[in-house]
Amino acid sequence: MKIVSFIRQYKNDTQRRVPMLELQDLMALYMGLLDELFFFGLLTKQGRRCRNPFRKGQLVQLQVIEEADGVRWGAWEPAQDQITLHTEVIDDGRIVELNMNDMVTTLAHEMIHAYLHIFSSGTRGYDVDVALAVGADDDDTESQRTRGHGPVFWEFYQHITGKFTLWIPESQELHDGAGRAERQEL
Ligand SMILES: [Zn+2]
């Protein structure tokens, strides 16, 4: 039934212009659906927080930021147990508004980072998948590109975007969004 909910929600949202003010709640709704579909409902489960066990709430928080602070579309921030999504980015010196497809696929991308980071162990050969940008040297573009994006990450990403194609084959925008999110350094 979650698949039906996802498809219905997506088709409904792509037929309207989603106001900025709604994006936080709407992306939270997609996060819940994607979590049930692909992550066993663990990321939005209520309880003690992962890195901050004295705080309660959803295991992974979501924050939608209604402005661009750079080129990043989104990020998984382990120190805050938080995924951030941007509604705008700076591209070639100009501010570009991201569409809903870009945001949904970016959300899926960041949820994979969160899931692998929290639930897999870096000692079992998943080092590249688990290692993230925290505290690392930001000058090294090559390591930025590969950090957190190992074979398990990409297999997971392709699994999810493959399901999008299967469920909503007519949406070229969603497939383009998945391709763009794949090429971004998120
Ligand atoms: Zn990434």
The alpha carbon of 166 and the centre of ligand 1 are apart by a number of angstroms equal to: 23
The alpha carbon of 179 and the centre of ligand 1 are apart by a number of angstroms equal to: 13
Helix axes 151-167, 172-183, angle to 10 degrees: 170
pLDDT at 136: 45
Burial class (CB in 10 A: 0-12, 13-18, 19+), 115: buried
From 68-72, 75-79, 104-108, 172-176, the region with the lowest mean pLDDT: 68-72
Amino acid at 135: G
The alpha carbon of 74 and the centre of ligand 1 are apart by a number of angstroms equal to: 8
What are the structure tokens assigned to 90, written together? 């700076």
pLDDT at 139: 53
Which distant-in-sequence residues (6+ apart) come within 8 Å of 24 by Cβ? 62, 63, 64
Q: Which residue has the higher pLDDT, 131 or 78?
A: 78
The domain spans of the chain are: 2-183
> At 135, is the pLDDT very low, low, confident or very high (cuts 50, 70, 90)?
very low
The alpha carbon of 75 and the centre of ligand 1 are apart by a number of angstroms equal to: 7
Q: Which residue has the higher pLDDT, 120 or 174?
A: 174
pLDDT at 133: 44
Amino acid at 156: F
